Structures are given as C-alpha cells and as structure tokens.
Amino acid sequence: MIDDIVNLGEHLKDADKYRNTSNTAGAIILWDIVRGVAETGIAWGAGLVAPAAMAAVGTTAIAAEVLTRILASPARVASAGAFVRAYRALSTDHTPARTAVFKIATRNLASTLGIPAEAVLKAVETRLPLAAQI
C-alpha cells in the first residue's frame, strides 16, 4: 500500500495530458447557463414558475458563485479555513486567547475578501450564536 502512495506521483505526471487546451469546456458551460436562464425566463413568462421560487434559485446561485470564488483562491481558502478552525476552537473552549484568535481570523478573512471588517464581524455575530457572546 505504501508503494501505491509513493507511485501516485507517477500517475499525476501524466494527468497534464488531459488538460483542456482548446478551452471548449468554458464555452459549453456558458452555453448551458444561458440555455437554463432562457428556459427559466420562458417558464416564468408563461406563469409556470412562482416568483418566490425564482428568488430562491437566484439566491442559491449567488451563494454558490461567492463560495466558488472563495474556494478558487488559495489565499481565500487559507483565510476561510483559519476562520473555521478559530470558530471551532472557540466553541469548544471559550478562553480569552481563543477569542483573540477568532477576532484576528475574522479580520483576516474580511481583509482577504476585500470586505470591511465591521461588516463581517456584524454578519458573523448575527449568524453564529457563539460569536455574539464575544
């Protein structure tokens, strides 16, 4: 089994030959999105889709886009990971040191995302019960 792990690097070297050098995947994905939006617009115009359902789908799509953008950047992933670890540590043992680490991680996340730290702290306090106690 250890040999399989060691030899994994050999398999990864060949993975580059499957790259999408023509960038056709992006065009196919864009076409699929445009088609879905058009179909939804036609269904909404015909009265087959409720406005509340459209709002729910739109909200979900925006949340997925934001999460995708966060996960696409190593710096943002590291910052979000540090924030989650700090929150988990704070939830197990509420000490002044862990509170300070949580505040630093929250400010770092805000800085990495390009959002004012006060806005992130306020959003965190309203959505995470433990953070409201800080």
pTM: 0.53
Contact 109, 120 (CB under 8 A): yes
Write phi, then psi, for 93 (nearest 5 degrees): -150, 110
Per the model's pLDDT, the better-predicted residue between 102 and 124 turns out to be 102
Does residue 102 surpass a pLDDT of 70?
Answer: yes
Q: What is the mean pLDDT of residues 72-96?
A: 86
pLDDT score recorded for residue 65? 85
pLDDT-based confidence at 108, cuts 50/70/90?
A: very high
pLDDT digits 0-9 by tens, 15-58: 666 676 777 777 888 888 899 889 888 988 888 888 888 888 88
- What pLDDT sits at residue 104? 92
Instruction: Enumerate residues 6+ apart whose C-beta is below 8 A from 94.
Output: 130, 133
What are the φ/ψ torsions at residue 99 (nearest 5 degrees)?
-65, -45
What is the C-alpha R_g of the chain? 22
